[in-house]
């Protein structure tokens, strides 16, 4: 048995008290060394890697890497704090195009927006732009002109007139567009003579029809004409029809579809195409230029014949559709097709799925002016779903339309949001096909 004296116990306790600071110091030193080692390893192995430049990134002359930002501009790329940071997203071309259109619309006054919705006829018959026409474009902001035979004497004259029109000041980058009814046959505005639709249907060679469309489109493009109100999609199935006749590609759906689509294919390489006259002007015995034709058919009746070419044209990508001044009481008892939201919104837009530009036939036609004040008709036409309105004649009537539309927006009868949507559709077509003839 061992025993310790008080002296010995005191010595042992003293030794223990002298050792504990050494143990504590050693522990702290060990912790420091472990932490330093961990930090060193992490700095070499866990550092986020700099991303490799993608195909759409650019390197400036100073060597700084640039990356597209959300607005599409290039800014110097910055190091990300850690690998989990979400990279910046870039706009798609479609998003940038939509953004550009919206920016253009925001710059326009009510008058300028209304001007984009109108296609106005002018009286000029030489190369010089008249004062009245210049005022329409520069002061009243009309964005589209339609040419008739009265405006065209020769290729040289009309070419100069068009260039002088397009050289007039425009708002922003929105081009002035020139339109025309160039079908061939009895609706032939150009100095060159082109055969009628009936001629191509009787020849029954779709390659020849397409070539004719290309030649006509090229002739229009060379004159800087942007829109052709063609092809005619009406089926000439009424022998007493005074207005369609040889303008149609036949009296049956098969012939009309075959040759109107060939013509559409040829024209589409050069100009904006407009199928007409929705929902079908073939089975009438009245000319809508002078009075309002009445068609006693239901929608189901039209589906079996008249609508077949329109469905095909929509499928083939026609840019625009013109709505005729046609009264179909079994579909809409109150309004003619050109002023009918049932026919335009419910059937053309929803049923047929057409998303392009809808254009009214000329409002200065008996089918409208016999029954409506033209300013009232213009407001109704936009409310019904038309995107653009043709007012081809009579300067007083044109001024009445402009005034009525501006007042309707200011008074809230026409919502500015509706106007903006129409302008957006037009700019999408204008800015998307601005150099079509050069492609």
Tens-digit pLDDT profile for residues 273-310: 999 999 999 988 877 888 899 999 999 999 999 999 99
Band of the pLDDT at 47, cuts 50, 70, 90? Answer: very low
Band of the pLDDT at 8, cuts 50, 70, 90? Answer: very low
Q: How far is Cα 227 from Cα 201, in angstroms, rounded to an integer?
A: 23
Quickly name the fold that domain 112-432 has.
Answer: TIM Barrel (3.20.20)
Beta bridge partners of 68: 74
- Asked if residue 406 has pLDDT above 80, the reply is yes
Q: What's the pLDDT at 79? A: 45
Q: How far is Cα 243 from Cα 30, in angstroms, rounded to an integer?
A: 102
Task: Extract the tokens encoding 282.
Answer: 């073939």
**Sequential DSSP letters for 231-277:** -B------TT-SSSGGGSS-SSHHHHHHHHHHHHHHHTTTSEEEEEE
Q: How far is Cα 115 from Cα 137, in angstroms, rounded to an integer?
A: 8
Is 350 in contact with 390 (CB distance < 8 Å)?
no
Q: How far is Cα 40 from Cα 42, in angstroms, rounded to an integer?
A: 5
- Asked if residue 210 has pLDDT above 50, the reply is yes
Nearest to 101 by CA among 420, 348, 386, 433: 420
SS3 of 39, please?
Answer: helix
Q: How far is Cα 416 from Cα 420, in angstroms, rounded to an integer?
A: 6
pLDDT 10s digits, 126-181: 999 999 999 999 999 999 999 999 999 999 999 999 999 999 987 667 999 999 99
Task: Extract the tokens encoding 218.
Answer: 């090229």
Exposed/middle/buried for residue 5 (C-beta within 10 Å: 0-12, 13-18, 19+): exposed
pLDDT 10s digits, 315-351: 999 999 999 999 999 999 999 999 999 999 999 999 9
Task: Extract the tokens encoding 213.
Answer: 């469309």
Is 367 in contact with 289 (CB distance < 8 Å)?
yes
Q: How far is Cα 117 from Cα 429, in angstroms, rounded to an integer?
A: 13
Q: How far is Cα 77 from Cα 178, in angstroms, rounded to an integer?
A: 46
The answer to whether residue 361 is catalytic is: yes
Is the CA virtual torsion 431, 433, 438, 439 positive or negative? Answer: positive
- Asked if residue 46 has pLDDT above 50, the reply is no
The answer to whether residue 277 is catalytic is: no
For tokens 């779709």, what's the residue? 206
Is 363 in contact with 328 (CB distance < 8 Å)?
no
Region 52-63 average pLDDT: 37
For tokens 């607005």, what's the residue? 71
- Asked if residue 27 has pLDDT above 60, the reply is yes
Phi, psi at 67, each rounded to 5° = -135, 135
Q: In what order do the strands lie in the sheet with 58-59?
A: 58-59, 65-68, 74-76
pLDDT 10s digits, 227-281: 999 999 999 999 888 889 999 999 999 999 999 999 999 999 999 999 999 999 9
- Asked if residue 355 has pLDDT above 60, the reply is yes
Q: What's the pLDDT at 147? A: 98
User: How many CB atoms sit inside 10 A of residue 308's CB?
Assistant: 19
Name the DSSP class of 149. Answer: G
- Asked if residue 388 has pLDDT above 90, the reply is yes
Is 312 in contact with 258 (CB distance < 8 Å)?
no
Nearest to 293 by CA among 308, 279, 281: 281
Is 194 in contact with 205 (CB distance < 8 Å)?
no
Band of the pLDDT at 31, cuts 50, 70, 90? Answer: low
Reading phi first (left if > 0) and then psi (alpha if -120 to 50, else beta), residue 72 is in: left
Q: How far is Cα 245 from Cα 398, in angstroms, rounded to an integer?
A: 30
Q: What's the pLDDT at 294? A: 95
pTM as predicted: 0.78
Task: Extract the tokens encoding 245.
Answer: 């006749």
Band of the pLDDT at 35, cuts 50, 70, 90? Answer: low
Is 182 in contact with 216 (CB distance < 8 Å)?
yes
Q: Between 104 and 173, name the one with better pLDDT.
A: 104
Among 234, 265, 332, 361, which one carries the catalytic annotation?
A: 361
Among 289, 301, 371, 420, which one carries the catalytic annotation?
A: 289
- Asked if residue 72 has pLDDT above 70, the reply is no
Nearest to 136 by CA among 101, 181, 170: 170
Q: How far is Cα 427 from Cα 405, in angstroms, rounded to an integer?
A: 19
Phi, psi at 272, each rounded to 5° = -75, 130
pLDDT averaged over every residue in the chain: 85
């Amino acid at each position: 048995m061992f025993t310790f004296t008080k002296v010995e116990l005191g010595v042992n306790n003293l030794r223990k008290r002298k050792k504990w600071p050494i143990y504590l110091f050693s522990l702290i030193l060990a912790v420091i060394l472990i932490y330093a080692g961990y930090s060193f390893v992490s700095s070499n192995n866990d550092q986020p890697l700099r991303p490799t430049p993608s195909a759409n990134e650019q390197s400036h002359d100073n060597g700084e890497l640039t990356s597209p930002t959300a607005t599409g501009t290039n800014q110097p790329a910055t190091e990300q704090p850690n690998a989990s940071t979400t990279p910046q997203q870039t706009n798609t071309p479609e998003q940038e195009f939509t953004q550009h259109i919206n920016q253009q619309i925001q710059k326009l006054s009510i008058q300028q927006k209304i001007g984009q919705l109108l296609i106005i006829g002018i009286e000029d018959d030489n190369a010089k732009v008249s004062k009245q026409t210049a005022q329409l474009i520069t002061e009243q902001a009309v964005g589209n002109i339609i040419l008739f035979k009265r405006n065209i004497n020769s290729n040289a004259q009309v070419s100069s007139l068009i260039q002088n029109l397009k050289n007039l000041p425009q708002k922003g980058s929105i081009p002035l567009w020139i339109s025309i009814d160039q079908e061939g046959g009895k609706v032939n505005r150009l100095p060159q003579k082109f055969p009628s639709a009936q001629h191509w249907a009787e020849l029954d060679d779709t390659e020849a029809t397409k070539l004719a469309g290309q030649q006509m489109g090229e002739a229009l493009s060379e004159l800087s004409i942007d829109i052709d109100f063609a092809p005619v999609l009406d089926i000439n199935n009424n022998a007493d029809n005074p207005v369609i006749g040889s303008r149609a590609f036949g009296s049956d759906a098969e012939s009309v579809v075959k040759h109107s689509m060939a013509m559409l294919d040829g024209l589409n390489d050069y100009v904006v195409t407009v199928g007409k006259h929705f929902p079908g002007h073939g089975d009438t015995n009245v000319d809508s230029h002078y009075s309002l034709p009445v068609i006693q058919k239901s929608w189901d009746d039209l589906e079996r014949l008249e609508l077949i070419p329109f469905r095909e044209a929509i499928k083939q990508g026609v840019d625009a559709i013109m709505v005729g001044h046609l009264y179909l009481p079994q579909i809409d008892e109150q309004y003619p097709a050109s002023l009918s939201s049932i026919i335009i919104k419910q059937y053309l837009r929803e049923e047929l799925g057409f998303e392009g530009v809808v254009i009214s036939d000329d409002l200065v036609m008996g089918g409208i002016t016999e029954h409506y004040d033209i300013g009232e008709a213009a407001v109704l036409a936009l409310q019904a779903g038309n995107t653009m309105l043709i007012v081809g004649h009579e300067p007083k009537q044109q001024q009445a339309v402009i005034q009525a539309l501006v007042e309707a927006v200011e008074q809230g009868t026409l919502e500015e949001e509706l106007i903006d949507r129409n302008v957006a559709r037009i700019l999408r077509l204008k800015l998307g096909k601005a150099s079509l003839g050069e492609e």
